[in-house]
Structure 1
Amino acid sequence: MNTTPLCRVDWAGSAVDIETRWIPASAADRPLLVFLHEGLGSVSMWRDYPALLCQALDWHGLVYSRPGYGRSTPRPAEQHWQPDFLERQASEVLPALLRELGVHQMYREVWLLGHSDGGSIALIHAARHPGSVQGLIVVAPHVMVEDISVRSIQQAREAYLQTDLKARLARHHQDPDSAFWGWNDVWLSPAFRDWSIEDLLPLIRCPVLAVQGSADEYGTLAQIERIGALAPLATTHVMAGCGHSPHRDSPDELTQAIKAFVARLPRHGG
């Protein structure tokens, strides 16, 4: 991967720096795959999976850390994210980043690959900006809040307060409190309990591959089943025995599922 300088964008009237990393394909006219990380993720938390997948597809890649994460501008300590935080990332931050980088002028096709919260952001973006992307791959996405999600996020809070989780997150975030509390506080807020994006799924007009592990500790298979039932061009894939991070648990299986899905689409055949 090639690290680039921070990209400065305007978000709701404030300048924020966004950490990015580019992965080149063999030719300029290959599609671009934009990676959207999980609720505690960052560029470095993906490890080598984006490079391995892009190599397998021969696609360009763009990996970035959302504001509050990684080496991007931290969340101010006094700022509390609201229940619409995923919608704001999908409809404000991501479009601003793509615009600033000139992505749609440089690449003939743009796809999103989102993990967990990043998968939710990808789905929202495709519904709200239907002409912006040609396809989605969502891994362990959330389309609604389940009891299992809340329980696991409560356990994460306890681990952050009582174990070395903060120190481990500090390897990937310049301000681990920014990343952790921004995510944890909003997910555990009573106002977020009724959050859902199920009404947006029928608005998605591009192909969607929705992947989830059968042992996901943050959500049941109902998440991708709803996508399969409501998004017009959705395909679901269950990875047996995998937890919340299939790209870490079984990266080869995930890559093969993605390759097979892309190969079936007319614009990517062969």
Structure 2
Amino acid sequence: MSELIHITAGGRPLCIEHAWVGVPDPQAPLLVFLHEGLGSLAMWRDFPERLCRAAGVRGLVYSRPGYGRSTPRPGAERWGLDFMHIQAEQVLPALLDALGVVGPYHLLGHSDGGSISLIHAARAAGRVASCTVMAPHILVEAFGLISIREARRAYLETDLRAKLARYHDDVDSAFWGWNDIWLAPDFPQWQITSELKNIVAPVLAIQGLDDQYGTMAQIDGIAAAHPDTRLLKLPACGHSPHKDQPEAVIDAVSRFLADPLAAPKRPNAHAA
């Protein structure tokens, strides 16, 4: 069951939807989940619970501002190129502080949430024990923008809006915040490759071979910049590995959390 907590981030009061899952022991290792660009706490469904139970850890799942039951994005507000940095450097630390989380903690982020996880791991190096990212973005590819333009068409012309409305109190806040910035004229210059060298925690980077939003350049780029990276490239898998290949992801992440340093650094497409 999710709860709401009031925080202040960047001088702005926010209400954040969150839930604790997995092992109920507050002394157990903590895994923080960061959702995708159109995601929310509810859109993870039972994956965080299943993973945390398998790994024997406690999980914190939350909806970022603009998503789920958290404070919506004001209608006139347009995100800038720093929107992921704001989440990584202001919102997530404020939430963790409000919940009494000191660290070390583990991160698991999907898509935009993966990028935010990498930025946070680079900026809060002493607090992050490990970082798992699924289909993260470290740079903008024309390939991925095609799919984002298609998402805009689907939102306007199909039942996508109605489907997303099940998971967001203000569905337009969620969709247009994400879609407008990704399709902004200056967004192709966005990148976080320069951040990666500052990460000290081990990283597990997972991506589907059929990802419609990015090529393997995304996770290969992480490995090139951060030597302590393990790669998992999954066949028959699109942009959401935890939905398309949940058992493979749960197994890989569980073993990574159990001993991040012992996992092989270059697993093949079927193992981690």
Name the TM tier (shorter chain): over 0.9
TM-score when normalising by structure 1: 0.94
SS at match of 1:242: coil
Evaluate the alpha carbon distance shift between residue 54 and residue 24 of structure 1 in structure 2; reply closer, same or farther with a 3 A threshold. closer
Contact 2:55 2:258 in 1 (8 A): no
Contact 1:202 1:232 in 2 (8 A): no
SS at match of 2:43: helix
Distance in 2, matches of 1:154 and 1:265, equals: 37
Q: Could you tell me which residue of structure 1 aligns to residue 81 of structure 2?
A: 83
Q: 1:144 aligns with which of 139, 146, 164?
A: 139
SS at match of 1:193: helix
Q: Could you tell me which residue of structure 2 aligns to residue 57 of structure 1?
A: 55
Number of aligned residue pairs = 263
SS at match of 1:73: coil
Q: Deviations over 1:4-29 (max 9, x none)?
A: 3x111112222110000111415332
Q: Could you tell me which residue of structure 1 aligns to residue 2 of structure 2?
A: 3
Contact 2:204 2:256 in 1 (8 A): yes
Q: What is the aligned-residue RMSD (CA, Å)?
A: 1.4
Q: 1:67 aligns with which of 65, 68, 72?
A: 65
Evaluate the alpha carbon distance shift between residue 146 and residue 266 of structure 1 in structure 2; reply closer, same or farther with a 3 A threshold. closer
Contact 1:42 1:172 in 2 (8 A): yes
- Does residue 195 (structure 1) correspond to residue 190 (structure 2)? The answer is yes
Q: Could you tell me which residue of structure 2 aligns to residue 42 of structure 1?
A: 40
Q: Could you tell me which residue of structure 2 aligns to residue 173 of structure 1?
A: 168
Contact 2:22 2:48 in 1 (8 A): no
Distance in 2, matches of 1:11 and 1:249, equals: 34
What amino acid is aligned across from residue 76 of structure 1 in structure 2?
P
Distance in 2, matches of 1:127 and 1:32, equals: 18
Q: Could you tell me which residue of structure 2 aligns to residue 221 of structure 1?
A: 216
- Does residue 23 (structure 1) correspond to residue 21 (structure 2)? The answer is yes
Contact 1:204 1:232 in 2 (8 A): no
Q: Deviations over 1:117-154 (max 9, x none)?
A: 00000000011111121100000000000011100000
SS at match of 1:212: strand
Q: Could you tell me which residue of structure 1 aligns to residue 11 of structure 2?
A: 13
Q: Could you tell me which residue of structure 2 aligns to residue 242 of structure 1?
A: 237
The Cα shift of 1:159 comes to 0.3
- Does residue 206 (structure 1) correspond to residue 201 (structure 2)? The answer is yes
Distance in 2, matches of 1:133 and 1:78, equals: 35
Q: Could you tell me which residue of structure 1 aligns to residue 266 of structure 2?
A: none
SS at match of 1:38: coil
SS at match of 1:63: strand
Q: Could you tell me which residue of structure 2 aligns to residue 132 of structure 1?
A: 127
What amino acid is aligned across from residue 25 of structure 1 in structure 2?
V
Unaligned 5+ segments in structure 1 are none
Distance in 2, matches of 1:200 and 1:212, equals: 20
SS at match of 2:186: helix
Contact 1:32 1:60 in 2 (8 A): yes
Evaluate the alpha carbon distance shift between residue 193 and residue 259 of structure 1 in structure 2; reply closer, same or farther with a 3 A threshold. same
The Cα shift of 1:222 comes to 0.6
Identity %: 53
What amino acid is aligned across from residue 54 of structure 1 in structure 2?
C
Q: Could you tell me which residue of structure 1 aligns to residue 268 of structure 2?
A: none
Q: Could you tell me which residue of structure 1 aligns to residue 267 of structure 2?
A: none
TM-score when normalising by structure 2: 0.94
Q: Which runs of 4+ in 1 moved over 4 A?
A: none
What amino acid is aligned across from residue 39 of structure 2 in structure 1?
G
Distance in 1, matches of 2:56 and 2:259, equals: 16
